[in-house]
Structure 1
Amino acid sequence: MDLVNVVTHAIESAIKTATSGGFAEASRVVLLEAATKLVSALQKPEDAITKLAYWPSQFMATRTLLELGVFNIIVEKGRVTSSELAETTKADKILLERLLRVLTAAGYVAEPDESSYAPNGLTKALATRPMGGLVEAIFDGGMKPMALLPEFLRKTGYKNPDDQADGPLQYGLGIDKVDLFTHMVDNDHKLLSSFQTFFEADRGSRPAWVDWFPVKQKLLDDSTKPVKDDSILYVDIAGGRGHDLLAFKEKFAEYPGRYVLHDLPQIADDQTLQLGDRVEKIGFNFFEDQVISGARLYYMKFIMHDWSDEKCLIILKNVTASMKKGYSTLIIEDFILPVKGCALLPAMWDMEMMSFLSAMERTERQWQELLTKAGLEVEGLYPPPGDGTGIIVTRLKE
């Protein structure tokens, strides 16, 4: 019993420190992994498997309540009853109670009294546009393909999916032989909007790369490669709504040079997308068009993991053709999978890549092989200070 008290005290102390923001990111991830192992050790195997089998009900309940705007209502009111929610949403009171029962049990909504609900940190996060977009994108676009993935693999003889136009997504959604992005642009603008919002939130709470990577030392403070006011400092390739570009621009505002955001015309031409001075938006197709030439830095986040090696080499050719040898640097932000002991998040993300795009996350060896084929020299592969994305710094071979 003494041991139980000691462990309980240690856990309570760690909880207080964590909730006050007292842990650095790397320490937080280490402790989270330790806590997960503790839960696994205390949980009976049969109970763990039962919870795994019933887990989709949590995601379904979250998506339904998100559609009804329930999280926003709870956050706005501070405390609300199921009757009040039913009156506001026009949904059945008993249905709402059943859905919310799942989420109060899972810890996503507080339950101060019978049929009464209040916000906690998770509720507040779900009420934000980026987190809502994440849930919508993964649920609406991915649940059917993921559910039918075992059937698809059985029919294809358990081959590793590698055809972006004829894979689990097309099988699951029953769509024509086109890749996800073409399908969204041509047929599903709602899903496209959800994904663009999701891309703003795909980093989660993990620090942006500009906050942990030595950007000035590695990329900017080189007197042999000066950037003038009219030169191009930074190009964000397929940068969506420009959230990563803006983070870089704000962090290093004292550096001269122009910025370019490349993406599909319907995104780049969006007049509501205001990125401030020194930024030019240019529509393009990275399979067909070269990026703007002669920039100091080119940046690609979560692009390579969407495509097979064959398609990646086409994309990279349209980037390397515009790079200036000895001057330009290509920065790739993506997962760098370890060969052993992979964290759960990137491992699950790899399954999403398989389901959505017949693509995959890559190991360090696979990154080296791909980038070498593209005519690039890898200066370094830098893992993140946690379980998020790493940074790969590459330049044209001398």
Structure 2
Amino acid sequence: MKNLPNNPECTFKMYELISGYWIACAIYSVAKLQIADLLANGPKTLAELAKESNSHEISLYRLLRATASVGIFEELPDGKFRINDLGGTLLSDVPGSIKPWALANLGEHFPAFGNLTYGVQTGKVPFDDVHEKSLWDYYKDNPAAGANLMKAMAGVSGAVLKGIIDAYDFSPYKTIVDIGGGNGAMMFSILYASPLSKGIVFDEPYVVETSCKQIPEDLKERCTVFGGSFFEEIPANADLYLSKWVIHDWNDAEAIILLKVCHKAMPIGGKLLIIDSVIPDVLNEPHAGKLLDLNVMAMATGKERTLKEFKHLLKESGLSFKKLIATNTQISSVIECEKLV
């Protein structure tokens, strides 16, 4: 096998894969420099952009030329640069913005990926090793970064929420609890789709301090927040509980503790929705969850799971698997569970 014939196509493909971080880091730079926001009201010259972003003009041109070459912004014949749909995803404070994710993923998360080999060899968390603290402690100690992460998750969630709402009927449930609900984006979407339901956004106390301020005026009578640890106790006797992109953050032992807390809080016949990527049992098949799993491995103790692995967690926590519901994306399948006893 060592003497495989030289295949230029494979060589260039591998070169492209290895160099992918060049584009990612360029996106991080234009996000940090707020180029999308500077172009929001129309095309600008390089000199204008350099002055407004406090950048070296020639170096900024090299950055923008490269990003424009992969479809992010447009370089015009008159020398100006213009925002386009792809570049528009980096605008600040717009629904579905990817800018916060770029700042987090290529900011504090990036060194953990550079340390991925450490995680593979030791089974420990690369982020913890690089930053000398867990991801959760990092955000408690760095509230600005934590606030940005909440925006990042909301931005990514915005791309999948419609698919979840379309795939599952939330309207029969009177009280719904979102476990680890962050800034409440998921709950707000559910309540708008289910006008007779009430919701509780549950998360760490420092998180729900912000969540409370995000509740839309027309939902304040139907939505509340509650702070605490989901490893200890969550609001009891709701009709429906849900956790989106939460279980995958924790290893099996931790996830079972969390699910047992859910089981204790749920009434007989109560439902739990686990919304995560579910990796198919098909060898070599491309799936977003397989790459997302590397992100989880770099950042936390958890992992993306197959349906068989999820069923094991449910059995150990006393919950009954009901069905798997596909949505419009591979990173947000819905696992419906029920408390029977």
TM superposition score normalised by structure 2: 0.89
Q: Give the Å deviation of 1:301.
A: 0.5
On the 8 A contact 1:125/1:131 being kept in 2, the answer is yes
Deviations 1:3-25 (A, max 9, x none): xxxxxxxxxxxxxxxxxxxxxxx
Deviations 1:13-49 (A, max 9, x none): xxxxxxxxxxxxxxxxxxxxxxxxxxxxxx9222222
On the 8 A contact 2:240/2:271 being kept in 1, the answer is yes
Which residue does the alignment assign to 1:51?
16
1:117-128 alignment runs, 5 A limit: 117-128=81-92
- Larger deviation: 87-96 or 124-133? 124-133
On the 8 A contact 1:146/1:172 being kept in 2, the answer is no
Distance 1:292 1:204, change over 3 A: closer
Which residue does the alignment assign to 2:224?
280
Which residue does the alignment assign to 2:251?
308
Distance 1:262 1:68, change over 3 A: same
Match of 1:103 among 67, 71, 82: 67
1:1-398 alignment runs, 5 A limit: 44-76=9-41, 78-113=42-77, 115-129=79-93, 130-154=97-121, 156=122, 161=123, 163=124, 167-173=125-131, 175-176=132-133, 179-185=134-140, 187-203=141-157, 205-206=159-160, 208-215=162-169, 220=172, 233-253=175-195, 255=196, 257-270=197-210, 272-275=213-216, 276-288=220-232, 290-326=233-269, 328-340=270-282, 342-398=285-341
Paired with 1:99 and 1:296, the residues of 2 have a C-alpha distance of 52
Distance 1:114 1:49, change over 3 A: farther
On the 8 A contact 2:248/2:304 being kept in 1, the answer is yes
Distance 1:212 1:313, change over 3 A: same
Which residue does the alignment assign to 1:224?
none
Paired with 1:48 and 1:381, the residues of 2 have a C-alpha distance of 36
Paired with 1:103 and 1:54, the residues of 2 have a C-alpha distance of 14
Q: Give the Å deviation of 1:58.
A: 1.1
On the 8 A contact 1:168/1:356 being kept in 2, the answer is yes
Distance 1:91 1:104, change over 3 A: same
On the 8 A contact 1:108/1:120 being kept in 2, the answer is yes
Q: Amino acid of the residue matched to residue 307 of structure 2?
A: E
On the 8 A contact 1:200/1:243 being kept in 2, the answer is yes
Q: Percent identity?
A: 20
Partner secondary structure for residue 302 of structure 2: coil
Which residue does the alignment assign to 1:33?
none
Q: Amino acid of the residue matched to residue 361 of structure 1?
A: E
- Larger deviation: 358-367 or 121-130? 121-130
Which ranges in structure 1 are unaligned for 5 or more consecutive residues?
Answer: 1-42, 221-226
On the 8 A contact 1:236/1:245 being kept in 2, the answer is yes
Which ranges in structure 2 are unaligned for 5 or more consecutive residues?
Answer: 1-7
Deviations 1:307-356 (A, max 9, x none): 00111111112111111112x11111111110115444222111100000
Q: Which has the larger radius of gyration?
A: 1
Q: Give the Å deviation of 1:210.
A: 4.1
- Larger deviation: 110-119 or 51-60? 110-119
Q: Give the Å deviation of 1:188.
A: 1.5
Paired with 2:116 and 2:54, the residues of 1 have a C-alpha distance of 35
Q: Give the Å deviation of 1:189.
A: 1.5
Which residue does the alignment assign to 1:27?
none
Deviations 1:228-265 (A, max 9, x none): xxxx5111111011100000000011x2x432111111
Q: Give the Å deviation of 1:211.
A: 3.3
Paired with 2:137 and 2:118, the residues of 1 have a C-alpha distance of 24
Paired with 1:152 and 1:181, the residues of 2 have a C-alpha distance of 18
Q: Amino acid of the residue matched to residue 23 of structure 2?
A: Q
Q: Give the Å deviation of 1:115.
A: 4.0
Q: Amino acid of the residue matched to residue 189 of structure 2?
A: A
Q: How many residues align?
A: 326
Q: Amino acid of the residue matched to residue 62 of structure 1?
A: I
Q: Give the Å deviation of 1:144.
A: 0.6
Partner secondary structure for residue 136 of structure 1: helix
- Larger deviation: 359-368 or 203-212? 203-212
Paired with 1:240 and 1:99, the residues of 2 have a C-alpha distance of 34
On the 8 A contact 1:149/1:172 being kept in 2, the answer is no
Q: Give the Å deviation of 1:172.
A: 2.6
Q: Give the Å deviation of 1:180.
A: 0.8
Paired with 2:332 and 2:250, the residues of 1 have a C-alpha distance of 17
Paired with 1:92 and 1:109, the residues of 2 have a C-alpha distance of 19
Partner secondary structure for residue 182 of structure 2: coil
Deviations 1:105-163 (A, max 9, x none): 11111112264211111111111433111111111122111012124534x3xxxx3x5
Which residue does the alignment assign to 1:34?
none
Paired with 1:214 and 1:304, the residues of 2 have a C-alpha distance of 19
Q: Give the Å deviation of 1:208.
A: 2.5
